[in-house]
Structure 1
C-alpha cells in the first residue's frame, strides 16, 4: 500500500538511508543518556536538563543532516552533469569510454561481469550520452520531502530516550529504562536493515547493537 498523508514523505527516502538516520539519532540520544551517568555520580542528575539537552541535540542534528542531504543531492547531480559533458567533449571514443568506466566501475561491486559485458554496458551509456543533451536538474519536491523525512527520523529518536522520565518518578530507574529502550531499538534497527538488504536479521541486530554501543563509548570518552 502506498503511503499517504505525512507518511508519503518517507517514500522518497531509501530504506537503507532511513535506517541509517535512525541509527545516527539513536547513537546521539544514547551518548547523552549514557554520558549522563557520569554526571549523575559526580553532580547529580537534573532530569529537566537531560531531557532538554537530548531533544535539542537530536533536533539540531536533524536539521544538519537534512541540510547535508540537500547539499549532497545537489553535488551528486552537478557531478553527473559534469561527467556527461566530459563524455560528449571527449577527444575520441576510447577516452569517453574511459571516463564512463572510471565513474561506473564494475570492480568492487557484488556483480561478476565478463569484460565484454562491461564494455557493452559502457558503450550503451556512451550511445545514450551521445544522443542526449546534458541538462541541469534542480532540487525537486521529492528531494525536499526526503530532507524533511531525515529531520523527522533523527529528531524522533529522542522520544524513546525521554519518555521514561515522564513515566517513572525515580531518575535512576528512568535513566536505566531509557538506556535499555534505546539499546533495544539499536537491535531492531539492525534487524530491519538485514530484512531490507537480504542479510541475517538476528546477526545484524546483534552487530548493530554492539557497533552502536562502541560508537557511543567513543563519543562519551572524547567528551561528545
Structure 2
C-alpha cells in the first residue's frame, strides 16, 4: 500500500494490466502507422487522427472493462459451483478429483512429489468442507480493476499526440509519434520482464516485434 491506496498490481494482475497497455498501444499504432501509409494519397488531417484514435481507444477501453467485469463474474460463479460440487461429492476421492481439475499443479512452474500433492488437496478439501459458497457479488476492487482496464486502454493513445503539440511539421510529428509508441512497446516488454523471469532487453525486443507484427496484420486486414 502507498499513501493508503493500493498499487495497481494489487488490484489487477500485472499480466492483465500490461496486456491492456499492449492492446492500447497496438490500437494507437494502427491509426498512426495507417495514417502514415495514406499520407501522400489523401492528405493528412491531424484533428481527425487525434479524434479517431482517442475515440477508438476509449470505445475499446469501455468494451474491455465490461468484458473484465463479465469475466470476473464468471470466475466467481465457477468457483462457487466447484465448491458446491465438492460438498455434494459422494466420496473423498471424487471431491479431490474436482479440486485437481480446478487447481491443477502440473501446469505450475514447480516440481512436487505425489505425497505432497495429496496432502495439499486434502487440506484444501478440509477447508472447502468447512466453508460455504459466498454470495456472488462484485467487490470494490473488482470495479476498480475494471476502471483501471478502461484507463490503461484509453490513456495509451495520449502519448501519440505529444509530438503534434511540439513539432509544427505534421509529417515529422507523425514520424516522431510512431517512434514514441514503438518505444513504449519496448518499455512495456521491459515491465513485463520485471514481473516474470525474462530478461528486460529480450522481453522489450520481443514485445516490440510482436506489437509491430500485430499492427501490420491489423492494417493489412483493414483494421
- TM-score for the superposition, normalised by structure 1: 0.94
Q: Quick check: 1:31 aligned with 2:9?
A: no
- Tell me what 2:47 maps to: 48
- Tell me what 1:163 maps to: 162
- Tell me what 1:2 maps to: 2
- Tell me what 2:174 maps to: 175
Q: For 2:98 and 2:184, locate their aligned partners in 1 and report how far apart those are by CA, in whole Å.
A: 43
- Tell me what 2:99 maps to: 100
Structure 2 unaligned residues grouped into runs of 5+? none
The alignment partner of 2:89 has SS state of coil
Contact 1:21–1:153, Cα closer than 8 Å, also in 2: yes
Q: Quick check: 1:193 aligned with 2:168?
A: no
Give the count of matched residue pairs. 222
Superposed displacement of residue 4, structure 1: 5.4
Contact 1:77–1:136, Cα closer than 8 Å, also in 2: no
Q: For 1:204 and 1:164, locate their aligned partners in 2 and report how far apart those are by CA, in whole Å.
A: 26
Q: For 1:67 and 1:9, locate their aligned partners in 2 and report how far apart those are by CA, in whole Å.
A: 21
- Tell me what 1:150 maps to: 149
Instruction: Note the 1:7-156 alignment, pairs <5 A.
Output: 8=6, 10=8, 11-156=10-155
Q: Quick check: 1:212 aligned with 2:216?
A: no
Structure 1 unaligned residues grouped into runs of 5+? none
Residues 3 and 59 (structure 1), Cα distance of their counterparts in 2 relative to 1, 3 Å cut: farther
Superposed displacement of residue 3, structure 1: 5.0
Q: For 1:35 and 1:120, locate their aligned partners in 2 and report how far apart those are by CA, in whole Å.
A: 57
Superposed displacement of residue 49, structure 1: 0.8
- Which deviates more from structure 2 when the two are superposed, residues 22-31 or residues 11-20? 11-20
Superposed displacement of residue 125, structure 1: 1.0
Q: For 1:147 and 1:164, locate their aligned partners in 2 and report how far apart those are by CA, in whole Å.
A: 30
Query: Deviations along 1:155-186, whole A, 9 cap, x unmatched?
Result: 11111112212222211101100000000000
Q: For 1:198 and 1:53, locate their aligned partners in 2 and report how far apart those are by CA, in whole Å.
A: 37
Query: Deviations along 1:127-159, whole A, 9 cap, x unmatched?
Result: 111111122231011111111111111111111
Alpha-carbon RMSD across the aligned residues, in angstroms, is 1.4
- Which deviates more from structure 2 when the two are superposed, residues 51-60 or residues 189-198? 189-198
Q: For 2:108 and 2:164, locate their aligned partners in 1 and report how far apart those are by CA, in whole Å.
A: 46
Superposed displacement of residue 15, structure 1: 2.2
- Which deviates more from structure 2 when the two are superposed, residues 180-189 or residues 96-105? 96-105
Residues 192 and 63 (structure 1), Cα distance of their counterparts in 2 relative to 1, 3 Å cut: same
